[in-house]
Structure 1
Amino acid sequence: MLRFSFEQLASFVAVAEKGSFSKAALSLGKDRSTLHQHVGNLEIDLGITLFDRSGKFPKITFEGNSLLTQARHILYHAQVLQNSGDSLAEGLEESLTIYHDISLPISVIEQVQLAVHQQYPQTQLHWIHRGRAESMDALAEQHADIAIVLSKGSGVLPSKGLTFTNLGYLPFSFFAHKDSVLAQQTSCNLEDLEKQQQYTAENYLEVELGNNTKISGRIATISNIDIILSLLKQGGWALLPNHFVSSSSYVDAICKLNINFMTNDGRWSLILLTRNHQSTGTVQRYAIEQFKAAFKVITQ
């Protein structure tokens, strides 16, 4: 059985942080005499002196300072427990798991994370980077609540049991290191690309985007785009999302190639998937709307 109350701990912490009983009472919205009583009773219950009151202002003792961090932790976790209980009572999800393709812009993740945290601070978002097939399996097996994946291709719809929303089309271009042979050319044709090393993101091989752009006789499959950007220093080229290069630390070293058989950047869509018969929760609906809003900004 505990010999102290949460009110006593809150008063103790407030006095320690504010430096006086008057300021602590004001911050807690209580009378100063009430805080004196709470702290005094806590000292009796614990059998130690928490503050030296011989001066004008209370001075925390060695014993009090030793317990202060633990008291803060107890109050913090008690508040988390209460907030979680309130969220569950309101029917809010405790967490959301989002599987996403490597092409999902980090700016979108940041925007959705911030918006959800501000609106529903007790809901934890889990961001899991996986390919299209694994993401769809995770949805079907209820390991994921939302999946952001590359569109399979023209006219190809997701598996039955899944609902999809086309978030928008991201521009893709051919990139190489600025010091490479390809970057020195005023324009590159198909034969130029065929002769050079090609790097392809593993996830792109699950959709037509990757399979239709196998051009070189030497193709290396890489699971991480950052690794591709680094390897381009050694030569070769890669088809990459424009936003990934422009927001990376390699932005000054990697350049877009002038491809003579393309007049515009290529585009490929990202789609948002959920389960058909899933009971969509409040936070999940809010997160989906935030994804849509974020993509309107970057694809307009």
Structure 2
Amino acid sequence: MIGNLTLDQLRVLVTIAETGSFSAAGRRLRRAQSAISQTVAVLEAAQGVTLFDRSGHRPRLTEIGNVLVGQARLVLANAGRFEAMAAVTREGVEPELAVAIDPLVPTAPLIESLRALRDAFPHLAVSFSTEGLGGAERRLRRGDAALSFCILLPSVPDDIRALPLLGARLVPVVAPSHPLTQLGRPATRADLEEHVQLVLSDPSDPEGPRHGIMGTRVWRFVDLGRRLDFLLAGLGWCRMPEHLVAPLLSDGRLVPLVIDDDPARLAGPLTVYAAQMCDRPLGRAGRWLLGDLQARFEDAIDCRPV
């Protein structure tokens, strides 16, 4: 009961509106017409409004009755979600699943997996955030995310349980108009020193891990898309996830940059992890998402070393 209001009264009101009469509502709800009429009368008296115009052959919703039917539908829908969430929580499903990802994580398998999660757990509340480099790990540590998909540099911390999902290939690329394309040979470190390198960095720790940085002329970006804009404009060179630049390489908007004795190439791809705090185990939905994503990444991404 909500004050002088009950969900049963709202259910009766909505059913009358849907079926068109008190008698039809009684048949659907398996109640006598007199019981339906009494429920409406009590509801009208308690709220101090007239819901039905009874002057004609059939009662018709008044103007306020039409408005309150819409409100009744919202209340009943929310009550249904309340009960469904309580039910699945009793079965071991977390009431909410918060997910965070770093910019280097491929999104296509993640989108498909989140869509499948919605079908498998329709009443689960899911929150999702994309972060700058290092941001997904920070949200995990603050308790704002139960599951993060991220790069963990320089290594996996002791308090995080991390499942390797895939190797993220970072390939050196440059716009066709950039001077480095005119060398006619692999670029040396001395060549790269003369040009700007566009670097994806952690905004809270810009001087953090320097994976793949080859010179001193560095422009730092938090957003992968904005860095791509600068790359396509020929304002520098950078290493980009292979899955993102493959179509740009195919249509000639970017070209590969071959680097002599490239230490990043020798180190191989970066590892993308599914990470959770050791002291905060996942619920059923989180474990389901993790398993589904693992299968999708294995199918979608070639994880062989560069």
Task: Output the TM-score relative to the length of structure 1.
Answer: 0.77
The 3 A distance-change label for structure 1 pair 44 and 222 is: same
Report deviation, 1:7: 1.9
Report deviation, 1:189: 2.5
* Structure 1, 100-109 or 20-29: larger mean CA deviation: 20-29
Residue 50 of structure 1: aligned partner: 51
Contact 2:134 2:202 in 1 (8 A): no
Please give the per-residue CA displacement for 1:210-247, whole angstroms capped at 9, x wherever unaligned. 73422244211111111112223252222111333468
Contact 2:196 2:217 in 1 (8 A): yes
Report deviation, 1:165: 1.2
The 3 A distance-change label for structure 1 pair 81 and 177 is: same
Residue 86 of structure 1: aligned partner: 87
The amino acid of 2:164's aligned partner reads: N
Residue 6 of structure 1: aligned partner: 7
**What are the residue-to-residue correspondences of 1:1-300 with 2, within 5 Å?**
2-16=3-17, 18=18, 20-21=20-21, 25=25, 30=30, 33=33, 35=36, 38-52=39-53, 59-130=60-131, 135-136=136-137, 138-140=139-141, 142-152=143-153, 156=155, 158-182=156-180, 189-190=187-188, 193-203=192-202, 211-232=210-231, 233=233, 235-245=235-245, 254-259=253-258, 261=260, 267-300=269-302
* Structure 1, 140-149 or 73-82: larger mean CA deviation: 140-149
Report deviation, 1:116: 2.3
Contact 2:178 2:235 in 1 (8 A): yes
Secondary structure class of the residue paired with 1:121? coil
Specify every segment of 5 or more residues in structure 2 that has no aligned partner in the other structure, as ranges: none
Task: Output the TM-score relative to the length of structure 2.
Answer: 0.76
Contact 1:99 1:128 in 2 (8 A): yes
Report deviation, 1:92: 1.9
The 3 A distance-change label for structure 1 pair 68 and 24 is: same
Secondary structure class of the residue paired with 1:152? coil
The amino acid of 2:146's aligned partner reads: D
Q: Percent identity?
A: 21
Aligned positions, number: 294
| Aligned alpha-carbon RMSD (Å) | 4.1
The 3 A distance-change label for structure 1 pair 251 and 221 is: farther
- The whole-number CA distance in structure 2 between the counterparts of 1:174 and 1:55 is 79
Please give the per-residue CA displacement for 1:113-159, whole angstroms capped at 9, x wherever unaligned. 22222222333233344467665455455443222221436xx4x22
The 3 A distance-change label for structure 1 pair 254 and 124 is: farther
Contact 1:146 1:272 in 2 (8 A): yes
* Structure 1, 187-196 or 57-66: larger mean CA deviation: 187-196
* Structure 1, 218-227 or 50-59: larger mean CA deviation: 50-59
* Structure 1, 209-218 or 168-177: larger mean CA deviation: 209-218
